[in-house]
Amino acid sequence: MKKIGFIGTGVMGKSIVRHLLKTGYEVSLFTRTQSKAADLLEEGATWAKTAAEATADAEIVFTMVGYPHDVENVYFGEEGIFEGGLAGQIVVDMTTSSPALAKRIAEEAERRGMESIDAPVSGGDIGAQNGTLSIMCGGRQETFEKVLPILKVFGNEIVYQGEAGAGQHTKMCNQIAIATNMIGVCEAIVYAEYAGLDPETVLASISTGAAGSWSLSNLAPRMLQEDFKPGFYVKHFLKDMDIALKEAEAMQLELPGLQLARSMYNDLVNRGFGENGTQVLYKRYEKSLNNC
């Protein structure tokens, strides 16, 4: 498979397309704002006016958009993927979305003689740039095997999780772990500051010990530099937590840690920080904000 349709070129999508182009794949792009894909077009991608047009000539179509309603529109809407799709094509949704929607896409793809994989990713902008994303896949095993060589172009830890929707459920596990871990990372740094320690020196000790985590190693240094540029948007993280809480409620599962993290990030969105990276949770602990 050499012809790829790619829909959505945000923080991570752009780097993924760049890896595909460098590996020799032909990529037809569609995103809502063409100017945001200008550099990729200069690097060899071609422009499609609609999702259907990006799909028409492709052997495999990747989608990486913002919210479940965006996924639904891209697949089922007017001039969407299923309108332009043909039997034999494979669709891969890398958006963090709902497991139920992943199953619906799989059912519609099968009805049309197509195949599908839900394949949300983790690793943020750094993982996308380095081609080391963790990719969690749901769908038929034989379809997973077909797309695996392409996923290896930009992914490192690529794991088949089970039937359609299993990739999205796994991503919820990922987001739950990150949500509560981010609280711990912020509070560790703030504690160090209040204790009169040098936070960077503290990080040198604790990031390689039992407290170590991706967020502690990669996002805590950004916090200390007041670098809140998005590797992953707060507004999208809030969306993910809402999906996880809805799924947990359906399973009659209580997740108080996730509920706390969700309330803290929701507060940041209400204060205008939704376009920042998730490390902006650190600002939640600033006296100037807490006294607002």
Using the structure block, give the residue that is written with the tokens 């780097």: 15
Would you identify the CATH topology of the domain 3-163? Rossmann fold (3.40.50)
Q: CATH 3.40.50.720 region(s) of the chain?
A: 3-163
CA distance 185 to 131: 25
pTM for this prediction: 0.92
- Average pLDDT value over all residues in the chain: 94
Q: Which amino acid is at 220?
A: A
Average pLDDT on 253-262 reads 97
Catalytic residue among 3, 22, 36, 171: 171
**CATH class held by domain 169-290:** mainly alpha
Q: Which two tokens stand for residue 235?
A: 């507004």
φ, ψ for residue 157, nearest 5 deg: -100, 100
Range from 70-74, 99-103, 191-195, 286-290 carrying the lowest mean pLDDT: 286-290
CA distance 228 to 271: 15
Q: CATH 1.10.1040.10 region(s) of the chain?
A: 169-290
Q: Are the CB atoms for 16 and 62 separated by under 8 Å?
A: yes
Active site annotation includes 229: no
Residue range 18-55, pLDDT digits in tens:
999 999 999 999 998 888 899 999 999 999 999 999 99
Contacts of 289 (CB under 8 A, 6+ apart): 271, 283
- What is the pLDDT at residue 290? 52
- What is the pLDDT at residue 124? 86
pLDDT for residue 289 is more than 50: no
Q: 152: closest CA among 125, 132, 130, 170?
A: 132
